[in-house]
Amino acid sequence: MKAIEIIGKGEEMHGRAYIPSGREEAGTIIKKLKENGFAHFVMLSCVDWIDKNEFELVYHMWSYEHKEHAMISVRLPRDNPSMFSMHELFPQIETYEREIHEMYGIDFEGNSRLTPFLLEGWHDTPPMRKDFDSKKFAEDVFDSIPEIKEEEDEGI
């Protein structure tokens, strides 16, 4: 795999390169890949491994040159997670970081636009974390709202 050759580590997973990386070196790896043909940043996703008490950030990159997909995986601790922002490399990372900040509560140093993205006025646990129970929240909030009590009235 080309990506593994470039970086010098990683494994192949279903025809895609999977490169584990530390928090600090992720930036250099992505930059190196970008310079070596991996020009298309596909997405940044996050997985909550609650058993291992860590978050996994996965940077997906694609190379039109080598026709190859690379996943750079960064593991962060679950309490006070923070990561370096990489929006200067690819502008769209900014949006992914906003979403992950909102949904998982991960802080991205250097991203000045970590404003509410999908939710408005959200004060609970970040919803995509595994310890947030969507069903319970919905029952607590939306099912507790009373019905409109109507008077016995011919007029209405």
Q: Which residues bind another protein (CB under 8 A)?
A: 13-14, 16, 18, 39-43, 45-49, 58, 60, 64, 67, 69, 71, 90-92, 94-96, 116-121, 123-124, 127-128, 130, 132, 134-135, 137-138, 141-150, 155-156
For 98, phi and psi rounded to 5 degrees? -60, -45
Q: In what order do the strands lie in the sheet with 16-21?
A: 11-13, 16-21, 68-77, 54-63, 40-49
**Closer by beta carbon to another protein, 67 or else 80:** 67
Residues 73, 22 contacting (CB under 8 angstroms): no
The nearest distance, CB 143 to another protein, in angstroms, is 7
Cα–Cα distance measured from residue 114 to residue 87, given in angstroms and rounded to the nearest whole number: 12
Instruction: Tell me whether residue 6 or residue 68 sits nearer to another protein (CB atom).
Output: 68
Helix, strand, coil percent values for the chain (each to nearest 5): 25, 30, 50
Q: Which of 132, 44, 138, 35 is nearest to 86 (CA)?
A: 44
Nearest residue (CB) to another protein, 90 versus 108: 90
47 and 56 in contact (C-beta within 8 Å)? yes
Write down the least CB distance from residue 33 to another protein, Å: 13
Nearest-approach distance from CB 138 to another protein, in angstroms: 5
Instruction: Indicate the residue among 36 and 95 with the shorter CB distance to another protein.
Output: 95
Nearest approach in angstroms of CB 81 to another protein is 16
